[in-house]
Structure 1
Amino acid sequence: MSTQQSTNSGFGHGSEPQDVLEGIDLTGKVAIVTGGYSGIGVETVRGLAGAGAKVIVPARNREKATANLSDVVGDVAIMDMDLADLSSVRAFADQFASEHDRLDLLINNAGIMACPLSRVGAGWEQQFGVNHLGHFALAQALMPLLEKTAKEPGSDVRVVALSSTGHKLSDIRWDDPNWESGEYDKWQAYGQAKTADALFAVGMNTRLAQHGGRAFSVHPGGIATPLQRHLDNEEMVALGWMNEDGELSEQAAKMFKSVTQGASTTLWAATAPALRDRGGEYCEDCDIAALADPENPSRYNTVQPYAVDPDSAERLWAMSEEMVAS
């Protein structure tokens, strides 16, 4: 079981990318950031490129990616990829490996939330398919390069998977992950996908640590971004996020982060020296989150034990391997 012990990082809810990246030099490092042309993904790319890394952004919409990244300073390249299409994912990985001899950082940032039932790949429920299985297949295809880089003296290879406090909505639906029976619940489906992202980091860390690399999952915080595009204002009012006039509610304004702050925990997990000998843990507000109390599971800065359970991580890994092989 993950210990989920705080590092006492000194950072927190309001930390900005420049705070967590102070003194970090990524010159010569190569990073991939999925979803790096929208919302907090842009700020993640900006932070990594600003610290000297070469950053590759896989994009389903190259034109949009080019426009959204136009003001990012540094070495940033866009390549074609669609997480919902495994042939596209594998083609991206093959092209990347043919053009690069190293991969230091893989940031699985792309995601969708609370969308109507739709199917991708081999009939997968869309949120599980895009948020987890697409990234799983990408990581599998890039594993040889991650392992090779991790073995180099002085390397600090890390994989960061974006989870969410939404993982508390659902464990993995082991008997029916694709909602082939029963009434579809878009929020439970989102919760399952975010639990899968956290468990993926546990499984990836087990494999990568053998070669000197590390993996973490991250809850970036509540942020108003295009992630909410499937929710109408009425639903966001009901959730307490918006007022009737379409403005952030007083409660949300206190809780939500800015888009730049939303990238900080990802950047911390990807670069913090304090994490060199850690791994497989769930991070929030630029530190390791505590394990949730079963009596009080909704508390912030905690992770449900089922989302960092190593046995569940191995079970999910085996299930995912079967699903992406079909």
Structure 2
Amino acid sequence: MAWNETSIPDLTGKVVLVTGGNSGIGFETVKQLVLHGAKVYIGARSESRAKQAISDILSENPSVPKELLEWLPLDLSSLSDVIKAANLLSTTEKRLDVLINNAGISSDDYVTTKEGLEQALGVNHLGHFTLTVKLLPLLQATADQPGSDVRVVTVSSLAEKFSPNSNNFASVKDLSDPGATNPNDYTSRKAVFRRYGTSKLANILFTKELQTRLTQQNSTIIALTLDPGPVATDGGMGVFPGLLKPILKLVMKSPAKGALTQLFCATAPDVAKEADRYKGQFLNGPGKITQGSERSRNKELAQSLWKISEQVLEGVET
């Protein structure tokens, strides 16, 4: 039988953070996690939207204890805010079993974050890079406990193939101007896909370098990344023209179906049982490992991205 929500094991006692858990596949992920006993934090900028998501889940599922759902204030477009969120969770909880870097954006316009980074790269990669790095002590403390199964799951996309070959993540400038556009072409459809693709490539490279570093430190934490497939969500639809969106929604996956791959990555016992097979891998379906583009497997590119990401973070902290 194909892996689905009924395959999720009992998660009682586990603590999970899902960024962007108030809508789309993030919302469906949160719902399934709490239905299987996990305590889940919804990392979101909007308190009203996060609390509405919590209310919706509780009203649809009266058996779910309300203490299993919490809002974590989190604005991924501001790295100083991300640091505050990580610190808050680290002082609130004694464990974190799974971090799901789910939130993702795409914009028709060229927009920058508070740090001056291109928005898609700033939110989709740098925000999650910062969050993960700052939560690693809590994740590792959990991993050090007997019987633990700690994972970092980052949502990418096969759209990573749209990233232009000209961007080698050689300097911080490649994060503020990822080589995907020029001042006369910021809003073309090609530029939108390239910006989004660059951020998704960064998600894969980040995951692979994270796993390399964890393994070198003899950590048992498993890092995975994934493509959820064509899903009718606001984040994924952002790259398409407005007139095309209603038509595409008719043929795309529902958010509930789209959430299955990240739920597999976050919860499937097979991942822990076959850790060496899954560590640092890119999945495009439950249990389905895919290669991704040649650039997504470039170790030097992954190391370079990590280095300049650290430089940005150091600049925020000083």
Question: Match of 2:33?
Answer: 48
CA change 1:308–1:51 in 2 (3 A) is farther
When residues 17 and 171 of structure 1 are mapped into structure 2, their CA distance, relative to the original with a 3 A threshold, is farther
Provide the C-alpha distance between the structure 1 equivalents of 2:230 and 2:74, rounded to a whole number of angstroms. Answer: 27
Task: Decide whether the 8 Å contact of 1:114 with 1:231 is kept in 2.
Answer: no
Q: CA deviation at 1:26?
A: 1.0
Higher mean displacement: 218-227 or 198-207: 198-207
Which residue of the partner structure matches residue 201 of structure 2? 195
| Distance in 1, Cα, partners of 2:54 & 2:25 | 12
Determine if the alignment matches structure 1 residue 208 to structure 2 residue 208: no
| Cα distance in 2, alignment partners of residues 169 and 223 from structure 1 | 18
Out of 300, 313, 316, the position equivalent to 1:311 is 300
**Percent identity between the two aligned chains:** 37
Tell me the equivalent position of 1:138.
131
Query: SS where residue 12 of structure 2 aligns?
Result: coil
Q: Structure 1 residues 288 and 208, CA, compared in 2 at 3 Å: closer, same or farther?
A: farther
Q: Secondary structure at the match of 1:71?
A: helix
For 1:56-77, what per-residue CA distance to the aligned partner results, in whole angstroms no more than 9, with x for missing partners?
1122111011112313243110
Q: Could you say what secondary structure the match of 1:72 adopts?
A: helix
Aligned to 2:224, what secondary structure does the other structure show? strand
Give how far 1:171 is off. 5.4
Superposition map of 1:269-284 within 5 A? 269-276=265-272, 277=275, 278-284=278-284
Alignment of 1:144-159 (within 5 A): 144-159=137-152
Which of 17, 21, 32 pairs up with 2:5?
17
Hey, what's the Cα distance between the residues in 2 that align with 1:76 and 1:309? 39
The partner residue of 1:85 within 78, 82, 92 is 78
* Distance in structure 1 (CA, Å) of the matches to 2:78 and 2:248: 35
Q: Secondary structure at the match of 2:43?
A: strand
Decide whether aligned partners of structure 1 residues 273 and 180 sit closer, same or farther in structure 2, where only a CA change above 3 A counts: closer
Deviates more, 1:187-196 or 1:268-277: 268-277
Post-superposition Cα deviations, 1:231-260, rounded to whole Å, max 9, x if no partner, equal 5433x2xxxxx5xxx3447xx62xx21110
| Cα distance in structure 1, aligned partners of 2:178 and 2:96 | 37
Kept after mapping to 2: 8 A contact 1:42/1:69: no
Alpha-carbon shift at residue 320 of structure 1 (Å): 0.7
> 1:281–1:308: 8 Å Cα contact kept in structure 2?
no
**Alignment check: 8 A CA contact 1:282 1:308 kept:** no
- The amino acid across from 1:179 in the alignment is D
Q: Which of 105, 109, 132 pairs up with 1:116?
A: 109
Identify which of 227, 233, 243 aligns with 1:225: 233
Aligned pairs, number: 287
- Secondary structure at the aligned position of 1:84 is classed as coil
Residue 143 to residue 171, structure 1, CA distance change in 2 (3 Å): farther
CA contact (8 A) 2:101 2:154 kept: yes
Contact 2:122/2:175 (CA < 8 Å) preserved in 1? Answer: no
| Cα contact 2:95–2:139 (8 A) shared by 1 | yes
- Structure 1-normalised TM-score? 0.83
Q: What per-residue deviation string (whole Å, max 9, x for no partner) do you get for residues 11-69 of structure 1? A: 3xxx6433x41xx0111110000000011110000111111111011221110111123
TM-score (norm 2): 0.85
Aligned to 1:61: 46
User: Aligned pair in 2 of structure 1 residues 180, 283: CA closer, same or farther (>3 Å)?
Assistant: closer
Q: Distance in 1 between matches of 2:77 and 2:233?
A: 21
The CA deviation string for residues 294-314 of structure 1, in whole angstroms up to 9 with x for no partner, is xxxxxxxxx113213333222
Unaligned runs of 5+ in 1: 1-9, 237-241, 292-302
Using CA pairs under 8 Å that are at least 6 residues apart, name the structure with larger relative contact order, 1 or 2: 1
Letter in 2 for 1:280: G
Q: Distance in 2 between matches of 1:154 and 1:272?
A: 15
Distance 1:28 1:264 in 2: 21
Letter in 2 for 1:316: L
